[in-house]
Amino acid sequence: MKLHEYQAKQILARAGIPIPDGRLATSPEEAEAAAKAIAAPVAVKAQVHTGGRGKAGGIKVAKSPAEAKAAAGAILGMDIKGLRVDKVYVERAADVASELYLGITLDRDRRRPVVILSTVGGVDIEEVASSRPDAIARGWPSPLLGLLPFEARALVFAAGVAPAQREAVADIARRLYRVYGESDATLVEINPLFVQKNGSVLAGDAKLDIDDNALFRLPELAKLKEVSADEEAEEKARALGFSYVQLDGDVGIIGNGAGLVMATLDAVRNAGGRAANFLDVGGGAKEAVVKAALEIVLSNPRVRSVLINIFGGITRGDEVAKGILDVIQAHPPRVPLVVRLSGTEAEAGRKLLESAPLESRETMDEAAAEAVRLAKVPATA
């Protein structure tokens, strides 16, 4: 789950990390009032769950309340990477001398959090990592002890932070680590971390992604969840206990198990087609689940055929077959179905499907080839 900049900054501020004075606005008038209250040049910043808003024109500097109003007018309603801007954050413009990068995420190989600090801030850190690896300092605190003062100091020295900012940056790193831990973050990032001309240090932007699996113990953060239009189907699927990702092809995919579904997507590509989605019904999929999954996949207008690939373990082939029969009897699907059942009770399932209006195949490769072929047949009726 992603938070907006203004939400992330509130959390940083509560942890004692300095942020610029700022206010949220949902209309040009509110933005004007905010700029008036701040009484200084401001930045008006689109609040959307995506990166690259700067390049897309989602950030404008305004020297007066009137300019802030105009800027908000231009930004609100804007479309950034498919997301509509409904809110802007109006923030006192910093007096920037230099920019740093500070972030914490998971290092999967070391199975530890990794704290990343660089004196090259305000840019794509992955780019810096590959072009100037020496400009990046990393530290791997123990999750049992947190980021210790000596570790924060080591980072500051290794990154080459200027002497005047060392203490402040080390302190912010330790506070940011506390935010990371306390909010079950998968990523927390201050980029840029401003050094102002007077020497003070201040979070220029903030990014905070929360581990969805931990939301059950983070009631305050869970309230901040926002679902954008294009994520609705994914959210609906999640609520039903399976995972769905929309893609841009025309072969709808349903399978059980993330690896198997990925392999099915690959098989469709191997057969010269393109998958319309990823949909994993998970373990122990029952009739009702299969039904709901079919409905979600068919709700995508691009879908021209559906491939159902189930390898039974906990999931039973006969139950899956019943689910398929049920849904196609109640709502005959607008596109052809290809089903491949294997594993537990697969034979019983295949028998149930024998007389149904669908294609049944024994192997994943065959089923994928058939689904791709059918998606290319011009629509009739």
Partner 1 sequence: MSVLLGRDTRVIVQGLGREGRFHAERMKEYGTKVVGATKPGAGGTSIDGIPIFDTVAAAVDETGANASIVFVPAPAAMDALLEAIDAQIDLVIAITEGIPIADMLKVAAVLETAATTLVGPNGPGAITPGQSKIGIMPAENFSPGGVGFVSRSGTLTYEIADLLTRAGLGQSTCIGVGGDPVVGLPTPGAVRLLNEDPETEAIVIVGEIGGSAEERAAEYMRSEGKKPAVAFIAGRSAPPGKRMGHAGAIVSGNQGTAESKVRAFEEAGIPVANAPSEIPGLVKKALRHS
Distance CA 75, CA 80 (A): 10
Whether 101 sits among the annotated catalytic residues: the reply is yes
- By residue count, the chain amounts to 381
Cβ proximity to partner 1: between 71 and 275 the closer is 275
Angle between the N-to-C axes of helices 163-182 and 149-159, in degrees from 0 to 180, rounded to the nearest 10? 130
- Lookup: tokens for 349: 């399932």
Residues with Cβ within 8 Å of 29's Cβ and at least 6 positions away in sequence, in order, are 69
Cβ proximity to partner 1: between 79 and 365 the closer is 365
Cβ proximity to partner 1: between 2 and 60 the closer is 2
Q: Which one from 5, 99, 151, 189 is the annotated catalytic residue?
A: 189
User: CA dist 240 to 5, 235, 325, Å?
Assistant: 30, 9, 20
Please state the closest distance from residue 247 (CB atom) to partner 1, in A: 7
**Residues in contact with partner 1 by the rule CB under 8 A:** 106, 108-109, 111-113, 126, 130, 142-145, 148-151, 153-154, 157, 163, 166, 181, 184, 186, 211, 213-214, 216-217, 243, 245, 247, 255-263, 265-270, 274-275, 278, 280, 282-284, 311-315, 342-344, 363-365
C-beta separation of 331 from 304 below 8 A = no
Distance CA 326, CA 347 (A): 18
- Lookup: tokens for 275: 């998958």
Cβ proximity to partner 1: between 47 and 186 the closer is 186
Residue type, 293: A
Please state the closest distance from residue 327 (CB atom) to partner 1, in A: 21
Please state the closest distance from residue 184 (CB atom) to partner 1, in A: 5
Please state the closest distance from residue 261 (CB atom) to partner 1, in A: 6
Whether 189 sits among the annotated catalytic residues: the reply is yes
Cβ proximity to partner 1: between 21 and 347 the closer is 347
Cβ proximity to partner 1: between 28 and 113 the closer is 113
Q: Which one from 89, 101, 177, 180 is the annotated catalytic residue?
A: 101
Please state the closest distance from residue 249 (CB atom) to partner 1, in A: 9
Please state the closest distance from residue 167 (CB atom) to partner 1, in A: 9
Mark out the alpha helices in the chain (DSSP H runs): 5-14, 28-38, 65-75, 125-131, 149-159, 163-182, 219-222, 232-239, 258-270, 287-298, 317-330, 346-353, 364-376
Distance CA 290, CA 245 (A): 16
Distance CA 340, CA 360 (A): 6
Report the catalytic residues: 101, 189
